Chains A and B, each alone.
Chain A
Amino acid sequence: MTHTIRLNVNGKEHTVEVPSRRLLIDCLRYDLGLTGTKEGCSVGVCGACTVLMDGKPISSCLALALFADGKEIVTVEGLAREDRLDRVQQAFIDYGGFQCGICTPGMVVTAKALLDENPDPTVDEIKEWMMGNLCRCTGYYKIIESIQGATALEPGGE
């Protein structure tokens, strides 16, 4: 049984035919070809699959694609504008906020939502917000430095 859903992904409207059991992460990766979002644990723990739904971080591995009907989704592909990276992306490069890179799309998207809500977070606020995004290279100090560094940059890409 399939359903037609309409969703806005990174500012672009899409109409997609999905089976009821389609997960949002599979809809993004396979139906829309947006493979920036990664699947890690498949049970909502690791944060690799984080996307924003109406501005709020969620696990796309725990959401049915049908949940996105009528919603605005932002993935890592939606942060940069033309040649200009979002300040969070730029800061992750400047401060060495990634090693193997598999957690990075989820980290960057989660951090972007933090700065949208709280433009000047303390280190404790960063730690609490980012707590559910795991980095198996254990590069947490650099990730925190990157997010702090991003606050000093122009909120680009908007």
Chain B
Amino acid sequence: MRAFEYREPDNLEEVLSLLHDHGEDAKIIAGGTALVIMLNQRLIMPSYLISLRKLAGLNSVDSADGALQLGALVTHREMETSPVIRDQIPVLAETFRQVATLRIRNMATVGGTLAHADPSQDSPVTLMALDARVGLSSSGGSREVPLDEFFTDYYETVLQPDELLTHVQVPLPKPHTGSIYLKFLPKTEDDYATVGVAASVEIEPSSQLCRECRIVLGGVAPTPLRVKEAEALLSGQKLAPELLHKAASVVQEHTDPISDSRGAADYKREMAGVCVRRALEQAWQRALTESP
């Protein structure tokens, strides 16, 4: 690991001012579970490391105005165990529970996993399927970006060098909505997904037709992949095997996986189709049981 200047501000203004002055040569560190490996392996060699570990005020889960507001420093373990999240958006707790191991979940943060932008991660996929938005701040002001416009490439996002991701806003699911995150893991349980699929289906309770849905995949493209063309196929339709097959093949056309230790590209594309069918069916079933 190369030497760097370490700064540990206790207030947001100072973090943003450091980013303003040194953003191009600085990295933000929160849990450190991804960044310390990249530093250790000299994949990155920043001059400044700006730590958020003594920053207060970005580590709570709040419920307001029909949405959950997640501070960027909430840990994966807190997301997994928070009674508010388990009660209001259980699929979020289920997703965070499937990330790596307890040790990683004790350290890794919500903001870190998004800013890191590794397309094989789990929680960005579910957050995107839930229409989450991220709050970005710089010393010049703040902006909100829908998560499906946030990722631009492998490990790349719209975050500017002087910007900090401060929070994530997740709207509470509408009534009669079922959501699921399905992680396909051919090796060990703590691994990255070979393919991950989040599906969310809102149904019209009397007819049981799909009103709206979201289909997002991880591990099969340079960013988490939302497939609007497949979503459009499902609106106004009834759950049927042919429909799921059609949606799955549209999804497969949009995937762009790479061959690596978690599977060959063709295998991942094939499994993306299988997982999309399973995820949609399970989300739909959950939506039906949500509707008495």
Name the CB-closest residue of B to A67. Answer: B53
Name the one of A21, A42, A110, A132 contacting B104, with C-beta atoms under 8 angstroms. Answer: A132
Whether, in the assembled complex, A59 has its beta carbon less than 8 Å from a beta carbon of chain B, the answer is yes
A55-95 CB mask vs B (1 if < 8 Å, else 0) is 01111011110110000000000000000000000000000
Asked if A1 and B103 sit within 8 Å, CB to CB, the answer is no
Asked if A20 and B49 sit within 8 Å, CB to CB, the answer is yes
Binding site for B on A (CB under 8 A): 1, 3, 19-21, 23, 42-45, 47, 50, 53, 56-59, 61-64, 66-67, 110, 129, 131-132
Count A/B pairs, Cβ under 8 Å.
78
Output the residue of B8, B49, B77, B101 with the most chain A CB within 10 A.
Answer: B101
Asked if B189 and A131 sit within 8 Å, CB to CB, the answer is yes
Whether, in the assembled complex, B267 has its beta carbon less than 8 Å from a beta carbon of chain A, the answer is no
- Could you list 13 further interchain pairs (A-B, Cβ under 8 angstroms) beyond the known A47-B103, A62-B37? A1-B6, A19-B3, A21-B2, A21-B3, A44-B100, A57-B102, A57-B106, A59-B103, A66-B6, A67-B32, A110-B103, A131-B101, A132-B101
Whether, in the assembled complex, B39 has its beta carbon less than 8 Å from a beta carbon of chain A, the answer is yes
Asked if B104 and A63 sit within 8 Å, CB to CB, the answer is no
Name the CB-closest residue of A to B104. Answer: A44
Task: Report B1-16 residues with CB < 8 Å from chain A CB.
Answer: 1-6, 8
Whether, in the assembled complex, B56 has its beta carbon less than 8 Å from a beta carbon of chain A, the answer is no
Q: How far is the CA of A23 from the CA of B33 in the complex (A)?
A: 12
Asked if A44 and B103 sit within 8 Å, CB to CB, the answer is yes
Which DSSP category, helix, strand, loop or mixed, fits chain B's interface? mixed
Asked if B5 and A1 sit within 8 Å, CB to CB, the answer is yes
Asked if A44 and B53 sit within 8 Å, CB to CB, the answer is no
Q: How far is the CA of A67 from the CA of B31 in the complex (A)?
A: 9
Chain A residues near B243: list those with CB within 8 A. Answer: none
Chain B residues near A66: list those with CB within 8 A. Answer: 6, 8, 51
Chain A residues near B106: list those with CB within 8 A. Answer: 53, 56-58
Asked if A131 and B5 sit within 8 Å, CB to CB, the answer is no
17 contacts between A and B (CB under 8 A): A1-B6, A20-B5, A20-B49, A21-B2, A21-B4, A21-B39, A23-B40, A44-B103, A45-B101, A47-B103, A56-B77, A56-B106, A59-B107, A66-B51, A110-B103, A131-B102, A132-B104
